[in-house]
A = this chain, B = another copy of it.
């Protein structure tokens, strides 16, 4: 199921009541490219839904194909059961956050973090089309490490039967970004406290081969570039 809608999209998502911030409005963005870049850099999202009237927030892997996000899981897991194909779907809020730096101000009040986050509101639906399910599962693996789906054994019938895939369209979406120095009050600038940003480390360390890895299998190119 090729995503034929991508080229026809406007450059930005349309703000709604719940994607418009009540404060720090200058940090908000609805730009599709900004949103996609934040989503593509994350490993887990935090998926929120309502169960028995109460909120639930679970970390989970995800993948993106154009304007669609995909999540997968055991067909027995609670949120995935709740999106059964025959029902009207599950209302969710999916959030991805990167913490980029710790912001130390002279005043306790102005301490903050530099971050980039995306919040997606919408209705999640189970994917039943076999071809779309395949593409979604490839996207989920390639989201962990780009190029990995082609270098692993694809899911077999039994695995596919045990896996539920749900889709959330990118429609009601916003990003929020804080960058740069600490913002202190003018009267605090002369205080004797250090102020600045402590950047958090990104990227990954040397890969660790499985204990049962057969000899002679080299580290693949897609893991040596970083």
Considering only residues 1-60 of chain A, those with a C-beta below 8 Å from chain B are 18, 22-23, 43-44, 46-51, 53-59
- Nearest CB on B from A101, distance (A): 8
Considering only residues 51-106 of chain A, those with a C-beta below 8 Å from chain B are 51, 53-59, 61, 74, 76-78, 91-95, 97, 99, 101-102, 104-106
Q: Secondary structure of the A side of the interface?
A: mixed
Which residues in B have their C-beta under 8 angstroms from that of A217? Answer: 192-194
Which residues in B have their C-beta under 8 angstroms from that of A78? Answer: 22
From A138, which residue of chain B is reached at the shortest CB distance? B108
Contact A182 B199, CB 8 Å, known A111-B144, A153-B107: no
Considering only residues 121-180 of chain A, those with a C-beta below 8 Å from chain B are 121, 137-138, 140-141, 144-145, 148-149, 151-156, 159, 163
**Separation of A34 and B174 alpha carbons in the complex (Å):** 34
A201 and B199 form a contact (CB under 8 A): no
B46 and A50 form a contact (CB under 8 A): no
Measured CB to CB, the residues of A under 8 A from B are 18, 22-23, 43-44, 46-51, 53-59, 61, 74, 76-78, 91-95, 97, 99, 101-102, 104-109, 111-113, 115, 117, 119, 121, 137-138, 140-141, 144-145, 148-149, 151-156, 159, 163, 181-182, 184, 188-214, 217-220, 223
